[in-house]
Structure 1
Amino acid sequence: MTEQKSVKRQRTAKKIIIDTDPGVDDTMAILLAFNSPEVEVIGLTTIFGNVRTPTATRNAIHLCELAGKSHIPVAQGADRQLRGNVKERIATFVHGDDGLGNTGEPFPTGKAVAEDAADFLAHHCRDAPGEITIVALGPLTNLALAMQRDAEFPKNAAEIVVLGGALFCNGNVNPAAEANIFGDPDAADLVFTSGGLVTLIGLDVTQKTVMMAAEVDELKAKVGPKIGR
């Protein structure tokens, strides 16, 4: 990257914290974010969903190390819903037991920070109001807990972008429910009614985004076999 491009990135990159349950899909999103000139990932927080929370944390740290981003902090989040009134649905049948398609990746050497995800989210947005966008790729439990601890959290965040919902199509858990919202509907209700700026990216969008076989081959060739697989 030239010095001019580096300066431009520093001026224009949007600061984001990714709340995630990696998951092969979240893995792709995280690696894309790491390499995008449009965003600066300042932290990862982990949640249950595709995998259980400790596995999500392990995978998040592993991705940071794999991508040469070990300086990015990872904060472990909630391991259960706000009220526990919905049956747990861990998607190992999609993502494998390790969440990475059973690729047999080694355990990372790094550790999560001492601060939990809710406090991490709340304090970063409190310290830089209006500057940090939260990108939520799993159930919204961590965000709801951050709201409960700091009522100003939703307004301190520049924006909350949620991967979830099925407003204009059928759900993928049942005809009415999408997996991330289904994972903790009480948390979703708190976030959607918080008064913060919330952008919802639902199944009607994500199901139209298809990667063709040729694109997969191109990605493998560019990033090498370890990430490409």
Structure 2
Amino acid sequence: MHSICWNSLVERIFPSRKDSEHLFGLTWRPMLQFLFLVGRDLDRLSKMTTQGELKERIADFVHGADGLGNTYPTLSDRKPIDTFAPDYLIQKVNEFPGEITIVALGPLTNLAAAVECDPTFAKKVGQIIILGGAFQVNGNVNPAAEANIYGDPEAADIIFTCGADILVVGINITHQVYWTGKDLEDLGRSDSKFGKYLYAASHFYATYHREAYDIDAIYLHDPATMVAAVDPSLMTYATGAVRVQKDGICKGLTLFNNSNKVWHDPTDWCGIPPVKVAVTVDRERVASLLKERLTAP
């Protein structure tokens, strides 16, 4: 099994310990820091840079200026490979056809470019698991849109309609999976160097949640999505076509058609390959699994 992920927490939630499992990392800077913290080597990790035109929305008010809660950790002196991100994705999918699982925890710019550059990409990738969208709930950028989809709605629509095996975990799910202030304190008291660091890095994120949502807790968006890769049975899914609003007041809206209705007139959802959208989650089991994995010594 081969996994490509944009988030370094995967190495703790989904440790690749078998010779047949390989992890390729895309968010190289925090990935290197987290692997350094947990004492893991890079023999199963390829680093890369993202180049080209990106539609960036920097949420430093959520994650801090450094993306790590303003902890500004000392970074490894290792450098990423000098490869254009979509080319790297295409290379790995062609090297391991049907075996690659991509876990996308940010805007889908690089994936969409890979799909457009290689017409066989969607059929060769094993599965794409996406953190994104707000299904039958309000968004977190505005009432219509979730942040990752809002960051590049054109790319998201390309991916949702490309025909790959796609599983989507939206904030309708991740807003049900959280750690309370007590859970965070448990991280700080754990024997895990990684857990202690997460506790320190979570202060800024927890402050945002108190101010934005009036809760003493943090939503576990990225880790909860990783659980869909580790144990998909902890969620249930509905199947149908997803389209993304690309502009206007509802820019970034993910509209899911899982109706059995036969439409009288053709719609933009007709003939679109279906995707799986998570609709329920076993909150307690997911939160407990994450706490167990992320506080392990």
What range describes the TM-score normalised by the shorter chain of this pair? 0.7 to 0.9
Residue matched to 1:74? 47
Q: How does 1:76-155 map to 2 (within 5 A)?
A: 76-78=49-51, 80-81=53-54, 88-155=56-123
SS in 2 for 1:75: coil
**Secondary structure at the counterpart of residue 129 of structure 2:** strand
| Cα distance in 1 between the residues matched to 2:51 and 2:133 | 21
1:175, 1:226 → 2: CA distance? Answer: 33
> 2:152 and 2:91 mapped to 1: Cα distance?
23
Residue 15, structure 1, aligned to residue 2, structure 2? yes
Rounded to whole Å, the distance in 2 between the matches of 1:113 and 1:162 is 24
After TM superposition, the score normalised by the length of structure 1 is 0.76
Please give the residue correspondences for 1:187-198 in structure 2 after superposition, counting only pairs within 5 Å. 187-198=155-166
Task: State the Cα RMSD in Å.
Answer: 2.3
1:62-108 deviation digits (Å, cap 9, x = unpaired): 22333313231111124633xx5xxx420011111111011120122
- Alpha-carbon shift at residue 114 of structure 1 (Å): 1.9
CA distance in 2, matches of 1:113, 1:62: 16
User: Does the CA contact (< 8 Å) of 2:32 and 2:75 recur in 1?
Assistant: no
In 2, the alpha carbon distance for the partners of 1:101 and 1:169 equals 27
Where does residue 23 of structure 2 map in the other structure? 42
Could you tell me how far apart the structure 1 residues matched to 2:126 and 2:174 are?
Answer: 23
1:152 to partner: Cα distance:
1.1
Tell me which structure has the larger Cα radius of gyration.
2
- Contact 2:132–2:148 (Cα < 8 Å) also in 1: yes
Give the 4+ runs in structure 1 shifted more than 4 A.
none
Give how far 1:222 is off. 3.4
Identity of aligned residues (%): 37
Tell me whether 1:182 sits opposite 2:150 in the alignment. Answer: yes
Structure 1 residue runs without a partner (length 5+) = 1-13, 21-25, 47-56
1:65 matched residue in structure 2? 36
Structure 2 unpaired stretches of 5+: 201-297
In the alignment, the residues of structure 1 paired with residue 17 and residue 139 of structure 2 have an alpha-carbon distance, to the nearest angstrom, of 30
Contact 1:164 1:201 (8 Å CA) reproduced:
yes
Deviation at 1:123, TM superposition (A): 1.0
| TM-score w.r.t. length of structure 2 | 0.60
Paired with 1:212 and 1:36, the residues of 2 have a C-alpha distance of: 30
